[in-house]
Amino acid sequence: MMAKRCGYAVLTAMFLILLVGACGAPESTSMTMAQTSTRVASAPTATPLPLTDTPLPPSTTPTTTETPAPTATNPPPTDTALPPTVTAVPPTATSPVAATPDGKILLSVYPDGDLAVMNTDGSDQMLLVDRTMPGDVFSDRLAAWRPDGKKVSYAVDDFEQVEIWIMDSDGSGGQLLVGEVAPITSHSWSPDGKRIAFVSSEHGICILDLASQTMTELTSETLHDERDPDWSPDGSMLAFSASDGQNQDIYAINIDGSGLTRITSHEARDKHPDWSPDGIEIAFSSTRRSQRFPDIYLLDLSLGTEGEDNLPIQLTAEDKLEVRPDWSPDGSWIVFLSHELGAEHGTIYAVDVHGQSLVQVTADNVYHSPRWRP
């Protein structure tokens, strides 16, 4: 009997143990699922947060991913191209500019068509050609210094033909250089003084070798109305004005006729180019401010031809025709002609290359085509 009760007790104990084990398993499973469902529920809450920042507007995305790199290594043109008044600093900017210009000016004197030399303050005027004969209709103008300053060349216009003559700087020893020259256009000497560039009435821009008397034509079929060739200081190129049928611009060409390049590109009329002594800049006259009144401008060639990142600097702004600029030998001043609309002659002024000082050289309104002595 006792053995049977012990058997029942053992069986009861085993049954209780199994029952407790069976009840514990669901509690453990329930905890595990609760923790898992908590992690799963929190994941969607955390995941979408970056998604609200990821789809940035297209205009913002390049700014954060692409722009910083070129800013550090290769800045955009809008950052590198400083305003023209800062970038196109003349080479003499580090040295102070004299209060008044120094040197001598060669110019034409009206109404007799004389040629004269005077100081830059208008004093000590000396006539080189004095047309005083009755009935004399010759007009001497558009003169130029030979680079050594010992000779002067000039255009003689008798209203039938134009010729270029040369004489000593004291007005003696005049002789003919070349005929069949186009009117109303200047000429230029090569830096070595051995050649002269001019505009032929028949062949456009030409170069005459004075020793061999051979002539090289630099005409272009795409251009016409070529005027005022000016030799580069290194002797390799000529700058000149010409029309492509739309407007007048400044061009440059190698002296062998190759490498034609448009220097300026504006709807205004650009004329009378003159190279700076160091070859870095070109001065010219242009009707950009006013279609009636041209002003004097500078273009920095070290920055290339005219464009959005290289705009000419305006030096003058009077309601007069301000034309035919010519650099001083030290590159700090530019002399030019200023005259009223419709007049063929006017007053000579000099402006420093920063546009801060303007000096009146002549008192009378009877002059034309000033040229600074080398």
Higher pLDDT among residues 77 and 241, named by residue: 241
Token duo for residue 371:
């040229």
Segment 342-366 mean pLDDT: 92
- Confidence grade of residue 350 (pLDDT, cut at 50, 70, 90): very high
Q: Average pLDDT for residues 289-304, to the nearest whole number?
A: 96
pLDDT per position as a tens digit, 153-208: 999 988 789 999 999 999 999 999 999 999 999 999 999 999 999 999 989 999 99
Residue 84: pLDDT above 60? no
pLDDT confidence of 90, banded at 50, 70, 90?
very low
Percent over 70 (pLDDT), the chain: 72
Confidence of residue 274 (pLDDT cuts 50, 70, 90): very high
**If you search the block for the tokens 């002609």, which residue do you land on?**
337
Edge-first strand order for the sheet with 175-178 is: 139-145, 151-157, 162-168, 175-178
182: DSSP letter: P
Between the CA of residue 58 and those of 16, 51, 55, 67, 224, what are the distances in Å? 70, 15, 9, 13, 50
pLDDT range class, residue 344, cuts 50, 70, 90: confident
Look at residues 138, 137, 141 and name the one whose alpha carbon lies nearest to residue 152: 141
Nearest to 294 by CA among 338, 245, 348, 246: 338
Q: How many CB atoms lie within 10 A of CB 58?
A: 7
pLDDT at 66 over 50: no
- For the cut 70, the answer to whether the pLDDT of residue 26 exceeds it is no
Q: How confident is the model at residue 220 (pLDDT cuts 50, 70, 90)?
A: confident
Minimum mean pLDDT range among 7-11, 248-252, 291-295, 357-361:
7-11
Q: Which residue has the tokens 């580069």?
A: 232
Residue 300 has pLDDT above 80, yes or no: yes
The pLDDT confidence band at residue 61, using thresholds 50, 70 and 90, is very low
47 confidence band (pLDDT: 50, 70, 90) = very low
**Whether the Cβ atoms of residue 269 and residue 246 lie closer than 8 Å to each other:** no
Instruction: Place 69 in a pLDDT band, splitting at 50, 70 and 90.
Output: very low
Vertex 178 angle, CA 173 and 183, to 5°: 110
Cβ contacts of 329 within 8 Å, gap of 6 or more = 103, 277, 372, 373, 374
Under the banding of pLDDT at 50, 70 and 90, the label for residue 347 is: very high
